Amino acid sequence: MITVCLIALSGIAAACDVVECKSPGYWKNHPDDWPGETITIGCKDYNKEEAIEIMRTPVKGDKTYNMFNALVAAKLNINSGCCPPSCEIDIIMEADRWMENNSLGSDVRASSDAWQKVFLYCGECTCCTTYPSGEAIYKKLDAFNNGY
């Protein structure tokens, strides 16, 4: 059985197939399996080497690194053919928005409002949207990446 969807959001453009998703640990240790040379996280472009170096950085309690790793893995999984349930990709957009609001290395702690509470994102348009907490977004990404 094949599920097909087209995803074109935040650096993702892939037809989804029913394949096994892989964890952040897999992606940081298998650079030859990456489906591209760059990845966009939180509106910032990283080349493969930069992203892998960041993924290998010890987290040391900074949740921005947890989110970065999970979001990189989710985007690579999708671009490799692992499709989110029902081809819903809202969680990818939510994670990108969270990373825009909480830049990599900004020392977001597990007990912080940035990790625990919903957040309001106002883009270039005049509309603002409320998103789930960083922790809730991360848990969804983690479940997707680990096939739950």
Identify whether 57 is part of a domain: yes
76: phi then psi, degrees, rounded to nearest 5:
-65, -40
Q: What is the pLDDT of residue 18?
A: 62
Identify whether 46 is part of a domain: yes
With 60 as the cut, is the pLDDT of residue 50 above it?
Answer: yes
The residue range of the domain holding 38 is: 6-145
Q: What is the pLDDT of residue 86?
A: 57
Q: What kind and span of H or E run contains 26?
A: helix 24-29
How much is the mean pLDDT over the chain? 85
Neighbouring C-beta atoms of residue 57, cutoff 10 Å: 14
Identify whether 75 is part of a domain: yes
Side chain identity at 25, as an amino acid letter? Answer: G
Q: What is the pLDDT of residue 16?
A: 57
Identify whether 58 is part of a domain: yes
What angle separates helix 134-145 from helix 90-101, to the nearest 10 degrees?
130
Q: Structure pTM?
A: 0.84
Identify whether 41 is part of a domain: yes
> pLDDT of 76-127, one tens digit each?
999 998 877 654 568 999 999 999 999 999 999 999 999 999 888 776 655 7
Identify whether 81 is part of a domain: yes
Taking the C-alpha atoms of residue 123 and residue 56, their distance in angstroms, rounded to an integer, is 31
Domain count, the chain: 1
Identify whether 1 is part of a domain: no
Q: What band does 34 get if pLDDT is binned at 50, 70 and 90?
A: very high
Report angle CA 73, 77, 81 to the nearest 5 degrees. 175
Give me the numbers of helices (H) and strands (E) for the chain, helices first please.
6, 6
Indicate left, alpha or beta for 89 from its phi (over 0: left) and psi (-120 to 50: alpha): alpha
Percent of the chain exceeding pLDDT 70 equals 82
Half-sphere exposure of 19 (CA within 13 A, CB side): 15
Identify whether 87 is part of a domain: yes
